[in-house]
Amino acid sequence: MNVLLIGSGGREHAIAWKLAQSKDLDKLYIAPGNAGTTQCGENVDIGVNDIEKLLEFAKQNDIGLVVVGPEDPLSAGIVDKFEEAGIKAFGPSAEAAQLEADKAFSKQLMRSSAISTAEGRVFEHFEDAKTYIASRDEAVVVKAAGLAKGKGVYVCDDPADGILAAEKIMCDKIFGAAGEKVIVEDKLLGEEASILAFVDGRNIYVMESSQDHKPIGDGDTGPNTGGMGAYSPAPVVTDKLMDQITREILVPTVDGMNRSGRAYKGVLYAGLMMTAGGPRVLEYNVRFGDPETQPILVRLKSDLLEVCLAVCDGKLNDITLKWDPRPAVCVVMASGGYPGSYEKGKIITGLDEAGKLKDVVVFHAGTALKDGDIVTSGGRVLGVTALADTIWQAKDKAYEAVDKIQFDGAYCRRDIADKAIKK
């Protein structure tokens, strides 16, 4: 089968790496891909949001399955377009993708489905949000309601900072149309965890747990990013808690989507806070997380192409996933200045040396080929991922590989997986 994978980040390189291992794969195309995905298939110079060109390419190249990585084309209806053309597409419909694209909708769904989440209110006008935040005397979380590349969340211990955050989002339009509405929530206390599950409209198959590290700095300091590293499994999620999460969060979410006429297919990602009162939903994503995908997929021993087809065909109940019991750690190497402004085009060296380490995979995120060199082309550049017998050995191995890689301005956190090690 010929497969078209849409996207260009570290998540897509990890998906491409795993799809390329399938015995049923004939040819893998990645649009637009990056310098790393060329090792897995053929890059195609078509943007992720150019749905008509992607559809034309799929028809011309006998594509049997399209796998969509990023959220933007999902919310724009790319799955609907391909399915209308008779081509299987892995991911939710445009209506189902509103679970991520519209946090106001997801908040309403959680309320109607009795899913535990933070208390919060939705505002369409800055003055209303300002008045409400000013009335608070405890920490608040201010979120852009739309898609903001994982950066549209401000955790404000001082409500005055919450007002400034709402002003940046709603008045300064730093996230564009994504900030036309904001959600103001109570701050939840606890440890975060990411729970991803395959969903075929009826059946749910939960993947191994993971934990992302959003802030730019060690100790979870500084502004939020798209994610600076992740590990799997997350010790904070015990078997008992996973059963509770499935029963009280994932199942009601899928049921609620079905009741609303938005049957859900693809990957359902629940970002959770493990509070003293139990797991509570911070947000939903409607696709594989980035960088959680990297440590999760290096642990997946089953055929990802087979799983994707089972989801599309509504036959997830026929699948049994097998996992490597060893933990995995992914450390993101970023461009200096990220998540603010940064320079591109920096030559990357040491990739071969890092990749030769046993059980290490260097996933490319913001990279490109230029005059025979691999250069930086984004804020998050690489996701250096390692497997080992213990979580601390996986961390040590990941950083051993990181230290073999150089580019001007390279930056990474040095505490990825420390929370797991302390457990």
Confirm whether 111 is domain-assigned.
Answer: no
217 and 303 co-located in one domain: yes
Note the pTM of the prediction, 2 decimals.
0.94
Please give the C-alpha separations between residue 299 and each of 18, 69, 323, in angstroms, as whole numbers: 10, 19, 6
Residues 58, 155: one domain? no
- The whole domain housing 73 covers 2-93
Strand 27-32 to strand 191-200: parallel, antiparallel, or no bridges (unpaired)? unpaired
What is the rounded distance in angstroms from the CA atom of residue 140 to the CA atom of residue 183? 10
199, 310: one domain: yes
What pLDDT shows up at residue 278? 95
CA distance 104 to 285: 14
Domain assignment present for 259 = yes
- The total domain count for the chain is 4
Q: Where does a domain end: 93, 115, 141? A: 93
Could you report the per-residue pLDDT of 144-194, keeping only the tens digit for each?
A: 999 887 778 899 999 999 999 999 999 999 999 989 999 999 999 999 999
Average pLDDT score over the chain: 96
**Among candidate residues 297, 268, 294, 265, the one with its CA nearest the CA of residue 283:** 268
Q: CATH number, domain at 400?
A: 3.90.600.10
Q: What is the CATH number of the domain that holds 151?
A: 3.30.1490
On whether residue 115 sits in a domain, the answer given is no
| Straight-line distance from the first to the last Cα atom of the chain, in angstroms, rounded to the nearest whole number | 44
Task: Say whether both 167 and 234 belong to one domain.
Answer: no
Q: Are residues 134 and 246 in the same domain?
A: no
Claim to verify: residue 18 and residue 89 sit in the same structural domain = yes
Mean pLDDT of 313-328: 97
Question: What is the structure's pLDDT at 151?
Answer: 78
Query: Which pLDDT tens digit goes with each residue over 53-112?
Result: 999 999 999 999 999 999 999 999 999 999 999 999 999 999 999 999 999 999 999 999
Write the pLDDT tens digit of every residue in 286-312. Answer: 999 999 999 999 999 999 999 999 999
- Domain end residue (candidates: 295, 318, 341): 318
C-alpha to C-alpha distance for 220 and 229, rounded to whole angstroms:
11
Asked whether residue 120 is domain-assigned, the answer is: no
- 304 and 345 within one domain: no
Residues 293 and 234 reside in one and the same domain: yes
β-pair partners for 3: 28, 65
| Rounded alpha-carbon distances, angstroms, from residue 151 to 76, 86, 225, 242, 369 | 20, 35, 5, 27, 27
196 and 314 together in one domain: yes
Domain boundary among 49, 70, 93: 93
Q: What are phi and psi of 67, to 5 degrees?
A: -115, 120
Who's near 223: CB < 8 A, 6+ residues apart?
151, 215, 216, 339
DSSP 400: H
Alpha-carbon distance 98 to 49, whole Å?
A: 17
CB 4 within 8 A of CB 16: no
Say whether both 314 and 349 belong to one domain: no
Q: Are residues 314 and 352 in the same domain?
A: no
Question: Is the CB of residue 331 less than 8 Å from the CB of residue 412?
Answer: yes
pLDDT for res 148 = 85
